[in-house]
Amino acid sequence: MKPLVLLALMLGFFPLPVAAMHISEGILPGGWAILWFVVAAPFVAWGGWRINQRRAIDPGYISLVGIFGAAVFVFSCFPLPVPVAGSTAHPAGTGLSAILLGGPASVVVAFISLLLQALFLAHGGLTTLGGNTFSMGVVGSFSGLAAFKLARLCQGNLFWSGFAAGVASDLLTYLGTATEMALALHGNTPLLTVLGQIYLAFMPTQVPISILEGVIIGGMLVYVRKHRPDILCKLKIITAEER
């Protein structure tokens, strides 16, 4: 309990202006910016519909949306210094929200977080909101969820399955960002060359951050099982025997 409380306090009380993974305002050309909006919009709509549907079945679901929605917002504007890379970056948090809220709902919380950051925190951008929602919301959420389910299928325990989700969602979010940039800006240079260069440039910072994110998600799931196993049972993450 204490480490989690300390983490929450750290996140809540030491927010700092952050410059991290989101694609900044104006970097994507108009056509690409519109395309990513069009691609991300159905996922956001699907997520909104799923949240309403689940809220009707279980009113307690909104409390979970409150916790993990706020967590995604705070995580994704919290800069962590990585000495080996000499730069800062932030976790995405969408792996955690995807496991506990569901993939579509996680896209919605990512979208709202990114919108608030673009509007008020000079972080990301309104023209790049679709692209950022796709990489952090759609790719981050669904890759984290897939890694978690795969790890559970392979009999991974809760901590290591959460760890896999954290690492996968973080690293693949940045792959999404690198892909969006490479597709839009590669020009005459081969696409894969540009993609590889951008993605590799992210790695020295993102590998340590993804490990941290994995530990946080694994720890959080273990905490939930200890204190509210019924939530994980309801979400079919653990069976009644595992409680």
Partner 1 sequence: MKRFLLAVLFMLLPLPASAAASKWPGVDEAVVEKFAAQLGRTAREPYLNTDQGDLLLFVFALAGGGGGFIMGYYWHKVFIVKQDLCLKDGED
How far, rounded to the nearest angstrom, does the alpha carbon of residue 10 sit from its chain's CA centroid?
A: 19
Out of 217, 231, 237, 238, point to the residue binding partner 1 (CB under 8 A).
231
Site string for partner 1, 104-143 (x = CB under 8 A): ------------x-xxxxx--xx-----------------
- Residue with smaller CB distance to partner 1, 45 or 242: 242
Out of 74, 112, 115, 146, point to the residue binding partner 1 (CB under 8 A).
74
Cα Rg, the chain, nearest whole Å: 17
- Report how far residue 75's alpha carbon sits from residue 110's, in angstroms, rounded to the nearest whole number: 11
Q: Which 2-41 positions form the footprint of partner 1 (CB under 8 A)?
A: 8-9, 11-29
- Residue with smaller CB distance to partner 1, 230 or 242: 230
Q: Which 210-229 positions form the footprint of partner 1 (CB under 8 A)?
A: 211-212, 215, 224, 227-228
How many CA atoms, within 13 angstroms, populate the side-chain half-sphere of residue 138?
Answer: 20
Smallest gap from residue 152 Cβ to partner 1 (A): 18
Contact 232, 152 (CB under 8 A): no
| Rama region for 58: left / alpha / beta (φ>0; ψ in -120 to 50; rest) | beta
Q: What stretch of H or E contains 89?
A: strand 87-89
Site string for partner 1, 79-98 (x = CB under 8 A): xxxxxx-xxxx---------
Out of 71, 101, 107, 129, point to the residue binding partner 1 (CB under 8 A).
71
How many CA atoms, within 13 angstroms, populate the side-chain half-sphere of residue 218?
Answer: 20
If one asks whether residue 235 binds partner 1 (CB under 8 A), the answer comes out as no
- Report how far residue 139's alpha carbon sits from residue 175's, in angstroms, rounded to the nearest whole number: 9
> Exposed (0-12), middle (13-18) or buried (19+): which is 177, by Cβ within 10 Å?
buried
Q: Which 35-64 positions form the footprint of partner 1 (CB under 8 A)?
A: 60, 63-64
Stretch that binds partner 1, among 39-47, 49-57, 137-145, 194-202 (CB under 8 A): 194-202
Name the DSSP letter for residue 242: G
- Residue with smaller CB distance to partner 1, 20 or 44: 20
